[in-house]
Chain A
Amino acid sequence: MNIFFYLDKRTWVHRLDPRTKIFGMLALFTLCLCFNHPLYMAAVSLGILGIAIAARALPNFWRLRFVLILLVAFSSLMWPFFTRGPTPMWTWGPIQVSRESLLYGLAMGLRLASFVATGLILLSTTRNEELTNGLIRMGVPYPVAFAFSTSLRLIPTFAGAGATIIEAQVSRGLDLESGSIFSRIGKFIPQAVPLFFFAIRHTNLLAMALESRGFSPESKRTLYYEPRLRALDYGVIGLLSIVLAAMLYVRLGMHLGAVLPGRL
């Protein structure tokens, strides 16, 4: 059972310094917040998709397809009811759906999916260790960086244990196929408790193993995968900065790309 997001491929995205990728992710997040018109948002999303293709991260997108589809669908359906626009189409008491809010909902769906996609691209192209090392070189304190990457690292471990636990309980007669929503919540306990104890035990043993190998988060360490900024990194950072500046100008200076101008 493999829940590693990291895909060991050789693309230019993989070769970027982790700091560049973190910066890139933040820049793309900001870019996603720039526009709330679905057409402009779609352009951003397409751009992100292009990066995903270049990074050969699509297998991960396929694995998360349900999540992505759900996000787009849910957003697109919910948002229209919660914002007001100048051209109303239907009204029920306090709730109003307008042409603008429909478009806004669509844009929000795309935005949410783009956030997830960007994060996914980062995780698909960067090893946990590279991420940690990048954070360290950016000045994040060692203990924080390690806590972050270890929690990422533990997700597949816990998922694996969770799967085994479910099998074990099903073998004892736990019926996950039928039942009302309430009984299903109750059925969560036989799965959650063993997983909880597993988590405690595993992290305890892991901590012992780490200390026994000389790990001490306060002190300095050598980084075997030392992050290095190269021409490619400067190029990417430069390009993204220009694009971001341009798009911010389009939105704030030219007042374009917003179907509801008063909102983010």
Chain B
Amino acid sequence: MSQAIAIEDLTFTYRGRDLPAIQNIRAQVEEGSFLVMMGHEGAGKSTLCSALNGLVPKFLRGRYQGRILVKGREMSHHKVSEMASLIGMVFQDFEDQLFSTNVELEVAFGPENLRIARPEIERRIQSYLSFVGLEKLRRREPATLSGGQKQRLAIGSVLAMEPEILVMDEPTTDLDPRGREEVLSVAERLREKKRTLLIVDHDPEIAAKADRIWLMSGGRIAAEGPPGEILADVPTLNSCGVKVPPLAELFSAMGWPGRPIMVGEAIALIQKYNLARRRGSKPPELSPASPRGALIMQADGLGYIYPRHHSAALRRIDLGIREGEFLALLGQNGSGKTTLAKHFNGLLKPTHGQMLLRGRPTNQYRQHELARLVGYVFQNPDHQIFSNTVYEEVAFGLRMLGEDSKKIKRRVSEALAVVGLEGYEPRVPFALTKGERQRVAVASVLAIQPQVLVLDEPTTGLDVRHQGSMMEMLKGLHERGHTVIIITHSMEVAEKYAARTVVMKDGSILLDGPTRAVFAEEDRLDAASLRPSSLLRLSNWLGTEALTLGQMVQELKAQEDSWQNEK
């Protein structure tokens, strides 16, 4: 098998930075193989991908040492556009890649650049649109497509140039579960056709299917090998800041043989070695959580239709939220979860029914009164950040509300302390990492000290380490008495942190109850195109009550002890 890619001692430092983004990379990719790159944020994965097609150093300037050979050709001798028929790149942010006015033009764009004749372009459009499953949407406007469809369109339009090697940089990070599935099945089909495929991703379930994994850390390849080896090496995964496959971690903590990635493997191992007993599964009660705090928000027959739209985004929502709850709002894109959340702080007002805050409808409140009661943190901190210093950024809301400067100063430093950014007042927000900017955004909402915090996708786009610290911070806020509502795609985050989960589908509430009870309803979740994490699916199969790894280990060990006592 010949080499598709050979990287020889590659080192690259971005212009204006001191430390190299990637160092002394020496690696090869065999033709027809499937490679997954994993690593923490800043490990150099995107830089390495960009080096493969020449964006580094032609577009992203800096000091470049070493060389990359793609099918025997040296990268640095060619322009990026010349390499397009050799290497195709799909980027994480599908919004930034699509710009044509309809689907077929988007796919035609690449071949047009390659000066391919029109009949051949026509053939390719038909062929690749059906490959990615979009053949019925040829004349649609890309803006009307779902996230998964957009990403598939991006892949199709890159495939239309028939590159020999395909590189995908975090193709599924911004997608909801169904979108992920769709993109992954395209990747599967590429695998079957023996195309050389490189994917950067965090999910061990994808990495498990690779031929080889490159584990990157601090700009170097820390480890590389087949998935069986790399994914079982829990200590190395941890030190590289990569998510450890939860089932492998479970087996490791229990001292059980094998390091399974998929639920099926785990079940097979448990049955084979008789590691645990399945309990007669009595699903936990799906009754609403026992009332504790006062009712702080209530949606009463709430309905909403976007202006100039025909179908309802929300239908007759009845939902009561009490003070001090930690709630996760789950659902596909388009299920209405963000629309509902925007009613909580009055960004949207109901077209039918009512949204009550402390008993009063939201349209009777002034906007700034709402800001004091309900804080809303948007998904992308860059949509909010505009000040020169972190201090001004965090003080912004308080200034708008007319507070005096002494109070502002105090609140700002308190808020920064809570998010773990003490002393960051004089720093420039734009110079911070994404995780830090996200915290600044949270701090700027916290400074107003609203009782309720609504966060839209607080963990999407963050690596495992930052996700952990963000969620622990939210947990701390919850313990101090705040009501926390998170909208998320991540089933694991909901499982680990939210006491109550609300699942939405097509503008209505499908499920509402304690998280463990909701996640036991796998069939109904499937109807909403959601699937519990592998750990929780195992927990369902075993009939245990556990939601997190720690709880699972405890419960299983207690089970084992009681077996011992039986003997």
Say whether A193 contacts B386, CB under 8 Å: yes
Binds A, one of B3-11, B356-364, B395-403, B480-488: B395-403
Range, interface on chain A? 35 or more
- Given A171-B347, A190-B396, A224 contacting B108 (CB threshold 8 A): yes
Interface of chain A, helix or strand or loop or mixed? helix
- Given A129-B105, A208-B91, A198 contacting B97 (CB threshold 8 A): no
The CA of A223 and the CA of B342, in the complex, are separated in Å by: 44
| Chain B: minimal CB distance from A169 (Å) | 6
- Given A208-B55, A213-B84, A168 contacting B383 (CB threshold 8 A): yes
Question: Using an 8 Å CB-CB cutoff, how does the interface string of B53-93 with A read, 1 for contact, 0 for none?
Answer: 10100110000000000000000000111101100110101
Say whether A205 contacts B113, CB under 8 Å: no
The CA of A127 and the CA of B104, in the complex, are separated in Å by: 13
The CA of A6 and the CA of B139, in the complex, are separated in Å by: 13
- Given A212-B80, A213-B110, A172 contacting B382 (CB threshold 8 A): no
Say whether A211 contacts B55, CB under 8 Å: yes
Interface of chain B, helix or strand or loop or mixed? helix
A-B contact count (CB 8 A): 158
Q: Does B559 contact A (CB under 8 A)?
A: no
Q: Does A150 contact B (CB under 8 A)?
A: yes
Among A1-26, those with CB < 8 Å from B are 2, 4, 6, 8
| Chain A: minimal CB distance from B52 (Å) | 10
Q: Which of A2, A161, A226 contacts B383 (CB 8 A)?
A: A161
Say whether B116 contacts A222, CB under 8 Å: yes
Binds A, one of B23-31, B191-199, B260-268, B368-376: B368-376
- Given A175-B400, A214-B161, A226-B118, A208 contacting B383 (CB threshold 8 A): no
Q: Does A257 contact B (CB under 8 A)?
A: no
Say whether B81 contacts A211, CB under 8 Å: yes
- Given A128-B101, A194-B386, A214-B85, A222 contacting B115 (CB threshold 8 A): yes
Q: Which of B84, B121, B383, B398 contacts A194 (CB 8 A)?
A: B383
Q: Which of A169, A192, A214 contacts B84 (CB 8 A)?
A: A214
Say whether A209 contacts B91, CB under 8 Å: yes
Q: Does B378 contact A (CB under 8 A)?
A: yes
Say whether A212 contacts B85, CB under 8 Å: no
Residues of A within 8 A of B85 (CB): 214
Question: Using an 8 Å CB-CB cutoff, how does the interface string of A119-158 with B read, 1 for contact, 0 for none?
Answer: 0000000011100000000000000000000100100110
Q: Does A170 contact B (CB under 8 A)?
A: yes
Q: Considering only CB atoms, which chain A residue lies closest to B167 in the complex?
A: A212
Q: Does A206 contact B (CB under 8 A)?
A: yes
| Chain A: minimal CB distance from B275 (Å) | 48
The CA of A194 and the CA of B383, in the complex, are separated in Å by: 6
Q: Considering only CB atoms, which chain B residue lies closest to A223 in the complex?
A: B112
Q: Does B173 contact A (CB under 8 A)?
A: no
Say whether A212 contacts B88, CB under 8 Å: yes
Residues of B within 8 A of A190 (CB): 386, 396
Q: Does B385 contact A (CB under 8 A)?
A: yes
Residues of B within 8 A of A214 (CB): 81-82, 84-85, 110, 113-114, 161
Q: Does B354 contact A (CB under 8 A)?
A: no
| Chain A: minimal CB distance from B148 (Å) | 18
Residues of B within 8 A of A4 (CB): 101, 141, 143
Question: Using an 8 Å CB-CB cutoff, how does the interface string of B97-123 with A read, 1 for contact, 0 for none?
Answer: 101111011001111111111100100
Say whether B345 contacts A171, CB under 8 Å: yes
Residues of A within 8 A of B93 (CB): 205
Residues of B within 8 A of A150 (CB): 99
Say whether B111 contacts A222, CB under 8 Å: yes
Q: Does A207 contact B (CB under 8 A)?
A: yes
Residues of B within 8 A of A6 (CB): 101
| Residue positions of A touching B, CB distance < 8 A | 2, 4, 6, 8, 127-129, 150, 153, 156-157, 161, 164-165, 167-177, 189-190, 192-194, 197-198, 201-202, 205-209, 211-216, 219-226
Extra 17 A-B pairs, beta carbons < 8 Å, given A8-B102, A211-B80, A224-B118: A6-B101, A172-B397, A172-B400, A173-B368, A173-B372, A177-B366, A192-B386, A208-B50, A211-B55, A211-B58, A211-B84, A214-B110, A216-B81, A219-B115, A222-B117, A224-B104, A224-B105
